[in-house]
Amino acid sequence: MKSLRIIGIIIFLCTFLAVNIACGAATSTPAPTQTNATIAPTRAATSIPTTAPTNAPTDVPTRVVATNTPTVIPSSPTAVPSSPTAMPQPTSTPVVSTPNDSFTLDIEPIVDGLRRPIFVGNAGDGSNRLFLVEQPGRIFVFENGKQLATPFLDLSDKVTTDGNEEGLLGLAFHPDYKNNGLFFVNYSRKGDGDNVIERYQVSSDPNVADANSAKTILTIPGLEPNHNGGMLAFGRDGYLYIATGDGGGAGDKHGTIGNGQSLNTLLGKILRIDVNADTYRVPADNPFVNTPNALPEIWAYGLRNPWRFSFDRATGDLYIADVGQSSYEEVNFQPASSKGGENYGWRIMEGAHCYNETDGECDTTGLVLPIAEYTHDLGCSITGGYVYRGKLFPWLVGQYIFADYCTGVVWATARDANGVWQTRRVTTFDDTISSFGEDELGELYVAGHKSGTIYKLTSAQ
Ligand SMILES: [Ca+2]
């Protein structure tokens, strides 16, 4: 299971979720020691996997680089007070276990034969079914230990996969799905590559969605084929959170300050909207509702390609894994008490390091640094996971699990007794990890992108 892959393929794999120039960079410097958020490299670059995947991607982004700040036209949002459906509150006090180095994680395949799976989700309706998302556009139900033959939804005709990072990228079920049957998808649209957030409803068959129920909620210009973000998730406040990439290319060379730092574009952000109406609304307490020339949908900014984020189901804390440029992959944290508006730094910083230094200056005032980062000596593209709140592994409870797409290295992050974030490497998975997923009980799953396999997380001692 732990065989090695050729280092050359790392450069190739980088185009997925990461950046075109990200992975080949051999100039990464060792992580500095002044921040306790830094993960010290624990293995040399020479231990990067050395076995080539058999179906390496062939699609290369070809669209022209945009040189101007894009014009973003949201579908007539209005900042009005609203009454979102509240998520259930946690019933137990969150517990962070003490890391125990005698335990490690493993994965056990439960489904194979999928086409480039990129997400595993659940409907929160008490069925504990899993919903397996394929990048080319299909969603399958996994129930009672089996994948159902008929897709839950097939968006293949709408979704483009021209770019390696394009496709059906995100899925989230409405907090009241059990009663209203509504769910949301995020995909790259065929034709123009724009990112579309669309609402659907289940049919009279609980295992098949009504393909004709599509309602477009929000369209975000895709600019270039890479950096599309993709993640959708509902917070405990009942609002839909959306991850958007910085518009693509490399270095966020859009406009004068880049899209990540511009409050005038939806790109390079976490957005927060109220979808309890056919036309989405902007929550009145979004951080930039009253800021001139700022788009009110923005919840947090300064992000490059926050492919996967998640809420801790016990605390409501938000973890955002942001794919780096050439040197650093990072995990960002936002406590549940946050009022939003955090600037996570990109393109001023990459991880905890100055990136876009103009005339030798790097103004880091007000920027929120990551709680963990790793260099490209250890991988090429971060895949954010979840804070474990399941029952199978008491030793893992309260720890945030994430991985690297290229190397399969998996880490766990949590605060120690002094409140300092500590990150340790827990294992290495022999697959390209495109996403984690959570079932209704809080157990975790892993999507193997190239292999087409879904795994359940298991523990080994
Ligand atoms: Ca950052």
| Domain-embedded: residue 332 | yes
pLDDT tens by residue, 61-75: 323 333 333 333 333
Using CA atoms, how far residue 192 sits from 141, 160, 196, 267, in Å, is 29, 9, 11, 16
CA–centroid distance, residue 274 to ligand 1 (Å): 26
| Domain-embedded: residue 274 | yes
Contacts of 358 (CB under 8 A, 6+ apart): none
CA–centroid distance, residue 227 to ligand 1 (Å): 15
CA–centroid distance, residue 350 to ligand 1 (Å): 5
Please give the pLDDT value at position 95. 42
What residues make up the domain containing 312?
171-432
CA–centroid distance, residue 89 to ligand 1 (Å): 30
- pTM beyond 0.85, yes or no: no
Query: Alpha-carbon distance 252 to 93, whole Å?
Result: 41
pLDDT tens by residue, 291-304: 999 999 999 999 99
Closest CA to 428 of 104, 77, 200: 104
Q: Would the CA dihedral through 67, 68, 69, 70 be positive or negative?
A: negative
Query: Alpha-carbon distance 180 to 199, whole Å?
Result: 12
Which uninterrupted H or E stretch holds 178? helix 177-180
| Domain-embedded: residue 340 | yes
Pairing of strands 168-173, 382-383: unpaired
Query: Alpha-carbon distance 48 to 226, whole Å?
Result: 24
Torsion of CA 302, 305, 311, 312, to 10 degrees: -100
CA–centroid distance, residue 387 to ligand 1 (Å): 20
CA–centroid distance, residue 98 to ligand 1 (Å): 27
CA–centroid distance, residue 375 to ligand 1 (Å): 13
Residue ranges of the chain with per-residue pLDDT less than 50: 1-99
Neighbours of 2 (CB within 10 A): 9
| Domain-embedded: residue 156 | no
Overall number of domains in the chain = 1
Please give the pLDDT value at position 398. 95
CA–centroid distance, residue 369 to ligand 1 (Å): 6
CA–centroid distance, residue 343 to ligand 1 (Å): 8
| Domain-embedded: residue 58 | no
| Domain-embedded: residue 341 | yes
Type of residue at 108: E
Please give the pLDDT value at position 311. 98
| Domain-embedded: residue 259 | yes
CA–centroid distance, residue 267 to ligand 1 (Å): 15
pLDDT tens by residue, 137-159: 999 999 999 999 999 999 999 99
CA–centroid distance, residue 354 to ligand 1 (Å): 10
CATH of the domain at 208: 2.120.10.30
Please give the pLDDT value at position 61. 30
| Domain-embedded: residue 143 | no
Cis status of the peptide bond prior to 115, with omega within 30 of 0: no
Please give the pLDDT value at position 164. 87
Please give the pLDDT value at position 361. 78
Please give the pLDDT value at position 225. 84
